[in-house]
C-alpha cells in the first residue's frame, strides 16, 4: 500500500495509459474493459482525463477498508442516489491511484489512507444526463485502500451519508453489481 508521499499529480495522459496497459485482467470481461479504455484514451489523447471530454472521461475510485479489513466505507451518493465506493473525476490528473486516494481522502474526511497503486478492477458505466451535462461514460479504474486504525469519517457535500458496510450488508442497500464485484475481489485478495 502506498502512502501520500509516493503519490503525486501527473498531467501527462500517457501515465494513465501506461497504468492501464500494464494491468493484467483477471478474466475475459475485464480484458475487454481494458481494451475499451485503452481505445478511448487513444481516441482522446489530450482530454480523456478531463470532464471537458463530453463523450466520457477517466475516473478512479477505491474500496476503502477499515483497518481490520472487515468493512468498507461506502457513500450514499448525493447525485446518483446509490451506495457506491469512494472516487471521482481525474480533472486532468493522469495518476489514477493518486486520483482514487485523493477522492477517498476528500469524500471521507479521513487522513492517513493508504492505497495499493495496482488497480484491482475496471468498470465502464453510463452517467445519466443532468441539466447542463449530457449522458456520458465514466471509465473507472478501481483500487483497494485501507483506513488507519480509529479512522472517523466526515460526510462531504457529495454524500447523503457514509457508512462502514460489511459484505453481507450489501444486499440490503441500493447499489449495483459492480460494487458487489469490487467488494468480492477485495475480499478474495485479502484471503
pLDDT value of position 7: 86
Ranges of residues in the chain whose predicted pLDDT is under 50: none
Spell out the SS3 assignment of the chain. Answer: CECHHHCCCCCCHHHHHHHHHHCCCCCHHHHHHHHHHHHHHHHCCCCCCCCCCCCEEEEEEEEEECCCCCCEEEEEECCCCCEECEEEECCCCCCHHHHHHHHHHHHHCCCCCEECCCCCEEEEEEECCECCECCEEEEEEEEEEECCCCCCCCCCCCEEEEEEECHHHHHHCCCCHHHHHHHHHHHHHHC
pLDDT value of position 132: 86
pLDDT value of position 169: 93
pLDDT value of position 91: 96
Beta pairing, strands 56-65 & 83-84:
unpaired
Q: Which CATH topology does 4-190 take?
A: Nucleoside Triphosphate Pyrophosphohydrolase (3.90.79)
pLDDT value of position 2: 59
pLDDT value of position 187: 87
pLDDT value of position 179: 94
pLDDT value of position 5: 52
> With a threshold of 0.85, does the pTM exceed it?
yes
Domain boundaries, the chain: 4-190
pLDDT value of position 81: 85
74-109 confidence digits (pLDDT tens): 999 888 789 999 999 999 999 999 999 999 999 999
pLDDT value of position 67: 94
Amino acid at each position: 500500500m502506498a502512502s501520500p508521499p509516493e503519490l503525486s499529480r501527473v498531467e501527462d495522459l500517457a501515465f494513465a495509459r501506461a497504468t492501464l496497459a500494464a494491468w493484467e485482467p483477471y478474466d475475459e470481461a475485464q480484458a475487454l474493459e481494458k481494451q475499451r479504455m485503452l481505445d478511448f484514451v487513444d481516441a482522446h489523447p489530450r482530454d480523456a482525463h478531463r470532464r471537458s471530454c463530453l463523450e466520457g472521461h477517466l475516473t478512479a475510485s477505491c474500496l476503502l477498508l477499515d483497518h481490520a479489513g472487515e468493512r468498507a466505507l461506502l457513500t450514499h451518493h448525493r447525485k446518483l442516489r446509490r451506495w457506491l465506493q469512494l472516487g471521482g473525476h481525474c480533472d486532468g490528473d493522469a495518476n489514477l491511484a493518486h486520483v482514487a486516494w485523493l477522492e477517498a481522502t476528500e469524500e471521507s474526511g479521513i487522513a492517513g489512507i493508504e492505497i495499493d497503486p495496482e488497480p484491482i478492477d475496471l468498470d465502464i458505466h453510463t452517467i445519466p444526463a443532468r441539466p447542463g451535462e449530457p449522458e456520458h461514460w465514466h471509465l473507472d479504474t478501481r483500487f483497494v485502500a485501507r483506513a488507519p486504525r480509529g479512522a472517523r469519517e466526515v460526510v462531504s457535500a457529495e454524500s447523503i451519508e457514509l457508512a462502514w458496510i460489511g459484505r453481507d450488508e450489501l444486499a440490503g442497500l441500493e447499489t449495483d453489481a459492480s460494487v458487489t464485484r469490487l467488494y468480492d475481489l477485495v475480499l478474495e485478495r485479502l484471503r
